Amino acid sequence: MFITNDIKYVGVNDHDIDLFEGQYVVENGMAYNSYVIMDERIAVFDTVDARFTQEWLDNIADALGERQPDYLIIQHMEPDHSANITNFMQLYKDTKIVASAKAFAIMKQFFGTDFADRQIVVKENDTLSLGIHTLTFVTAPMVHWPEVIMTYDSYEKVMFTADAFGKFGALDVEEDWACEARRYYFGIVGKYGMQVQALLKKAARLDIQTICPLHGPVLNDQLEYYLGLYHTWSSYVAESEGIMIAYTSVYGNTKRAAEKLAELLTAKGCPKVVTADLAREDMAEAVEDAFRYSKLVLATTTYNADIFPFMREFITHLTERNYQNRMVGFIENGSWAVTAAKVMKKMLEGCKNLTLAETTVTIKSALNEESTAQLEELAEELCK
């Protein structure tokens, strides 16, 4: 597949995978992207997952024809992109590897060698000429590993962006970009908003007409839309006005309270209300919605003098990813020693710019007149 006259796609689709990185459900598989620039000298960008070695090498051979590659550019050392470095270098013995110093250090950890006699170490603003294509390297540490470099081709105005602008899903499946890109971003890159902001400032100085990520489709139209979403996500501001109600429930009473609150909010004209049963919904989907919407309600039971495990996991996912700039309300339940709201608030203490609702709904076993009135008060606060 041609990206431009000189740039070819040589990646693979993975429909065998069930959990990406051992935790993210990927019903539509994954793409492991790799690219080749054909010029006076030839550069190959990144490898693919170890389970697709031969398919990828066959794609490379088809793209090269009778020619040999001059450079293997490694932008990211995560194994789904680096697993075939040794296989490639054994096959193409005159090829040099281009990567950051940190990438070569990690390479030695994975493979026992850093190919010292065949390496080219690059840093910020270093260039590599292939002929008419001149590549400029852009460092992107902690987006989302420390060794990451990205590559700008000034001739074609193409930015190769490593894992940035990636998404879940194989390339032979049609689906909305933003939904799976958002889930991918907050699951994998979300902790590193400050570093993504630094990258976006560098990208703003370049004339980028095409983005080639290591996962997901090549982006060559509506780039302002994709860049705008990345700016929003990495700024930790809400993408949409709305309220997410995340709950756990043992015997159904906390669930009924969450559903009752959703009814009240809808009746009061709140623009968007979504609910998530944290024991049953994909956790990455729940995290995505928490970052997507402007307000969040956490509803759970007191459990072993703490909170229900799925709620603890959910809040941990949020705090690890620097959750901030939101309004948060609380519903707690317990038949004795009700402490869930106290625990949840304590877990969120390190989050910046959270506005906590004045009303905390306290349920003692099941909704009654008092706790139902508290739900009304909380709904009023959230709908202001």
Same domain, 148 and 185: yes
Q: Which domain holds residue 16?
A: 7-235
In a domain, 120, yes or no: yes
Domain CATH for 84: 3.60.15.10
What residue spans of the chain are helical by DSSP H? 53-64, 79-82, 85-91, 101-111, 177-184, 193-204, 223-235, 253-267, 283-292, 309-320, 340-347, 369-382
Same domain, 82 and 180: yes
pLDDT at 132: 98
Question: Domain ends where: 211, 235, 259?
Answer: 235
In a domain, 1, yes or no: no
What pLDDT, in 10s, does the model give residues 324-368?
999 999 999 999 999 999 999 999 999 999 999 999 999 999 999
CA angle 171, 67, 58 (to 5 degrees): 35
Number of independent structural domains in the chain:
2
Going from the C-alpha of 127 to that of each of 114, 134, 135, 291, the distances in angstroms are: 21, 7, 5, 37
What pLDDT, in 10s, does the model give residues 71-100?
999 999 999 999 999 999 999 999 999 999
Question: Domain ends where: 209, 235, 261?
Answer: 235
In a domain, 220, yes or no: yes
Identify the band that residue 1 occupies on the pLDDT scale cut at 50, 70 and 90: confident
Domain CATH for 345: 3.40.50.360
Same domain, 114 and 187: yes
Q: Which residue has the tokens 């850093």?
A: 114
Same domain, 230 and 254: no
Same domain, 265 and 306: yes
Same domain, 38 and 101: yes
Same domain, 155 and 14: yes
Same domain, 203 and 259: no
Same domain, 230 and 248: no
Q: Say if residues 94 and 68 touch (Cβ distance below 8 Å).
A: yes
Please state, in angstroms and rounded to a whole number, the distance separating the CA atoms of residues 228 and 141: 21
Same domain, 122 and 261: no
- H or E segment to which residue 158 belongs: strand 158-160
Same domain, 211 and 305: no
Same domain, 231 and 247: no
The token pair at 357 is 């609702």
